[in-house]
Chain A
């Protein structure tokens, strides 16, 4: 779940909502203390020092956990991160992107691991693969003159959609293609 776009945004919401509540509460307290006498403000320094230590440790932990855990989500590492390591995918599909569409070598694929070899023939496009449930499986930016290869695991059967997510002119939102996984 965490590796999907929806999971990422939910995590974002779970982290930022409490942050904003704490931020606004502290802002309110700071304004209240702004009306207090200087004597009332004494004694808060020890508390702030403790907060400093806790805060710095917390961000260190979050930093380490996410940067270590997320390594397994990197598409170009996934074939090697799985146990046992996957062999070279048997299905290879060449994709050509143009203003405003895609040409795929084949429009029917087997369930499993697929290597997409994609390029653009005119301007910057992307090849973003949406699963039958509408989740983004992976996105690849295609710069003219360069060829990108990406290995993805197509777990579900059904119709997958390819869309361009890099602005490429008037027909950008209509740049769509589909393929079926059986």
Chain B
């Protein structure tokens, strides 16, 4: 058994995600620059908007999570990361993303990253983009969906529940399903995403086949109705964000006990594993029914009972987060925390995640949603949750850096990376939230309201970019050789 069997695909995923982050981040900076200088035409801005959103969320963050979560399961359960599922997850995600990028950049399919159905179809009818461009776009979406809903959770399930543990690959003893809770946090993704994402995947495949002429358009009329499409879409999209958030919380549950200093912490567990599990279960079950908050502002079409269920469920997810806040801080405080780039990134990512949670719950309150929905306050929430989750995974990346790259990280560059990312995330959260308070419409160019927010956005965006540059500098040095014989000491000697 070679250590390379554990690290090859995670390393590929991490590096490929970095490429998407760089491309998407450049588009993001250009968008803010355009708000200041007006150098883009009105139909060029949505191209960057669509590319930025898809590249950062799916090519970047989702892929980073996929690579590092598979690596964690691999070295905790001692199972190699190879085979068809792992390969297909990596290649189909990136082929799908490449198709989406081609559709957006070359064919001008500019729908923003959330589809806004029926905009993709209406755009063809109105002559904004071509049918060929739409077909490429839809098949890109289908491939990405297949990975998110099927291949990635199947790979996780295969690693957790089947196959034999190879002792040589167990680099950290952190096995179990419900205990430790840091591993239990992977189960919501495994069990929730496939059923909740199936309807939208089937719908997307039906549309894709109709675009190729393989099935008559009339036979898929049900999915082309905007109302019918948007419910499965939001059930999927909302729960994907929640499942990614729960994965991040589970990563904090795993990482922080690894960096506690107390002798008492030989078992390397949380202050309360039971509270940890309760938080995961509470959060996951409440999150499933929180999705109606995306459609609160349809006062006649969405049943009021469904809206109110969405509000209560949204607030109940806050309870799950509140349990986690207490547990994580208590773990760090009671047992003492060793400061490293990994522990700092995980803690700061978690702090940003919780701070954003306040705004998330406000947006999940019907009365406030009628005053904030569609403004930059929503962008503030979405961007911050993604940045917070990314920070937590950056913690996991530094924890596994030596395993992935065969040499220790440069601590100074790593701290710079973590701190700049955290400061930018908090700054963006407040700036965009206040732009939302002014009523600045999101995804609009030029900004009719709140345009003065563009200056801080550019400064914070530049800080964020500088942080990622620090990570790029980290990769300048050649990759070292991970000695197979010392493999088991690579992670354990840090604890």
Contact A30 B337 (CB under 8 A): yes
Q: Which of B112, B297, B355, B433 contacts A139 (CB 8 A)?
A: B297
Known A-B contacts A63-B318, A170-B42; A35 and B119 likewise in contact (beta carbons under 8 Å): no
Contact A16 B443 (CB under 8 A): no
Contact B443 A167 (CB under 8 A): yes
Q: Mark A18-57, 1 if CB is under 8 A from B, else 0.
A: 0110011011011111111010010011001001100110
Contact A174 B261 (CB under 8 A): no
Q: Is B262 an interface residue (CB 8 A)?
A: yes
Q: Is B437 an interface residue (CB 8 A)?
A: yes
Kindly specify which of B122-130, B395-403, B479-487 makes contact with the partner chain: B122-130
A-side contacts of B373, CB under 8 Å: 126, 139, 141, 165
Q: List 26 A-B contacts (CB under 8 A).
A: A5-B438, A13-B430, A13-B433, A20-B426, A23-B351, A26-B333, A30-B333, A31-B337, A33-B337, A34-B260, A36-B336, A41-B262, A55-B326, A67-B311, A124-B118, A126-B297, A126-B374, A128-B374, A146-B226, A163-B441, A169-B110, A169-B123, A170-B46, A172-B443, A173-B446, A176-B448
* B interface, CB within 8 angstroms of A: 42-43, 46, 49, 110-112, 114, 116-119, 122-123, 126, 128, 225-227, 230, 260-264, 271, 295, 297-301, 304, 311-312, 315, 318-319, 322, 325-326, 329-330, 332-339, 347, 351, 354-355, 358-359, 361-362, 365-368, 370-375, 377, 426, 430, 433-434, 436-439, 441-449
Contact B298 A148 (CB under 8 A): yes
Contact B439 A19 (CB under 8 A): no
Q: Which of B116, B358, B362 contacts A166 (CB 8 A)?
A: B116
Contact A6 B438 (CB under 8 A): yes
Contact B358 A12 (CB under 8 A): yes
Interface size in chain A (residues, C-beta < 8 A): 81
> Which 10 residue pairs across A and B have the least CB separation, nearest first?
A165-B374, A73-B367, A9-B437, A173-B444, A34-B336, A30-B332, A33-B336, A34-B261, A167-B443, A5-B371
User: B411 to chain A: closest CB distance in Å?
Assistant: 15
Q: Which of B118, B339, B438 contacts A144 (CB 8 A)?
A: B118
Q: How far is the CA of A26 from the CA of B123 in the complex (A)?
A: 52
